[in-house]
Amino acid sequence: MVDPANTVGIPVNPTPLLKDELDIVIPTIRNLDFLEMWRPFLQPYHLIIVQDGDPTKKIHVPEGYDYELYNRNDINRILGPKASCISFKDSACRCFGYMVSKKKYIFTIDDDCFVAKDPAGKAVNALEQHIKNLLCPSTPLFFNTLYDPYREGADFVRGYPFSLREGVSTAVSHGLWLNIPDYDAPTQLVKPKERNARYVDAVMTIPKGTLFPMCGMNLAFDRDLIGPAMYFGLMGDGQPIGRYDDMWAGWCIKVICDHLGLGVKTGLPYIYHSKASNPFVNLKKEYKGIFWQEDIIPFFQNVKLSKEATTVQQCYIELSKMVKEKLSSLDPYFDKLADAMVTWIKAWDELNPPATA
Ligand SMILES: O=c1ccn([C@@H]2O[C@H](COP(=O)(O)OP(=O)(O)O[C@H]3O[C@@H](CO)[C@H](O)[C@H]3O)[C@@H](O)[C@H]2O)c(=O)[nH]1
Ligand SMILES: [Mn+2]
């Protein structure tokens, strides 16, 4: 069993931050033994396990974890016809966990991601760092060259406008990966042995107006601020594309965060990504995305949401109309995706009715 961080002996966190306000969402087709290594950091939290693939397969959850588990039969039972918007046989299924959660925060992690070690050899509590990132403001309107100004031992540098130092609320915390980096299939094929050993001790806000490739394997977000936009699209079984689930969601949440004045951070924490998925299988899943994204990115770069769109749902519905209007000519898939975006919002609102006044 991979144990690069040696968390044995670290006591389970006695007073975990946001213990009752955060759910951990794990998509899986494998087993969940990786949770043994995370026990000191994750055991106090509630897990939402989204079991993909064969629903008759029994997934073993290590003792001592509090969890709820949903397989495809559960998704179909809960959502009925709206289950069509939840992907099958792709990690995109994880977004069902975001929808059924009742908590303010989500941390999602893949089952082949382990506890990393920092350069001093200390086990990285990735969840704790994500929580710090989310509870601290972001600075999308003006770049701070000393990175995260709210961090102990750092601050805003000379020339940083004081009117902007309050920052904005942080909606998303995007963590990184040691060992197997999240490369696309062509890069994986050209550099099969490349491993990421570079631990960059920094957290940065992604500037307003800039898109980024969001990876879903080590990601946290504020569900109340941006949850309805965290739809991971139509991927996997029956779809012409895969492994663009997190990318699609990342482009949607970023244009909506920019519009609503919310922040997105990337950098710490690192996890240790242990399994390289098959590059040839990945190429088959990704190749249309690699081609289409040359049109998709300019689409998102030119998105202008109306001033009437003041909620995430309103922004997302507006975005779905733009997808239908401007991307369906690229491929009929986007017509289907635009409809699925609407279905997702309807399902989200059904499961998460606004709190009665
Ligand atoms: O059909 C599937 C395949 C996998 N899963 C679960 O999803 C995650 C990620 O799977 P895996 O580690 O095999 O794939 P990676 O290539 O490393 O994943 C990265 O690529 C992105 C593709 O979307 C993904 O977000 C990244 O993390 C594991 O937990 C599998 O068990 C699944 O549910 N269904
Ligand atoms: Mn993986």
Q: 285 C-alpha to center of ligand 2: Å?
A: 15
For ligand 1, whether the C-beta of 108 sits within 6 Å is: no
CA dist., res. 8 & res. 274, Å (int): 18
Return phi, psi of residue 209, to 5°: 85, 0
What pLDDT sits at residue 222? Answer: 98
DSSP state letters, 287-348: HHHHHHHHHHHHHHHT----TT--SHHHHHHHHHHHHHHHHTTT-THHHHHHHHHHHHHHHH
The secondary structure element, H or E, covering residue 273 is strand 263-273
ipTM of this complex prediction, to 2 decimal places: 0.96
CA dist., res. 17 & res. 45, Å (int): 10
Q: 180 C-alpha to center of ligand 1: Å?
A: 13
CA dist., res. 207 & res. 122, Å (int): 31
Residue with CA nearest ligand 1 atom 12: 112
Return phi, psi of residue 67, to 5°: -150, 165
For ligand 1, whether the C-beta of 245 sits within 6 Å is: yes
What pLDDT sits at residue 229? Answer: 98
Residue of 92, 93, 267, 42 whose CA lies nearest to 170:
267
pLDDT in tens, 313-342: 999 999 999 999 999 999 999 999 999 999
Residue ranges in the chain modelled with pLDDT below 70: 1-4, 14-15, 356-357
Residue with CA nearest ligand 1 atom 21: 243
pLDDT in tens, 213-264: 999 999 999 999 999 999 999 999 999 999 999 999 999 999 999 999 999 9
Residue with CA nearest ligand 1 atom 23: 243
What pLDDT sits at residue 8? Answer: 77
What pLDDT sits at residue 323? Answer: 98
What pLDDT sits at residue 356? Answer: 65
Q: Is the pTM of this model over 0.90?
A: yes
Ligand nearest to the backbone CA of 188:
1
CA angle in degrees (0–180, nearest 5) for 120-171-23:
75
What pLDDT sits at residue 273? Answer: 98
Q: 103 C-alpha to center of ligand 2: Å?
A: 26
CA angle in degrees (0–180, nearest 5) for 17-23-25:
135
What pairing do the DSSP bridges indicate for beta strands 46-51 and 22-28?
parallel
What pLDDT sits at residue 3? Answer: 61
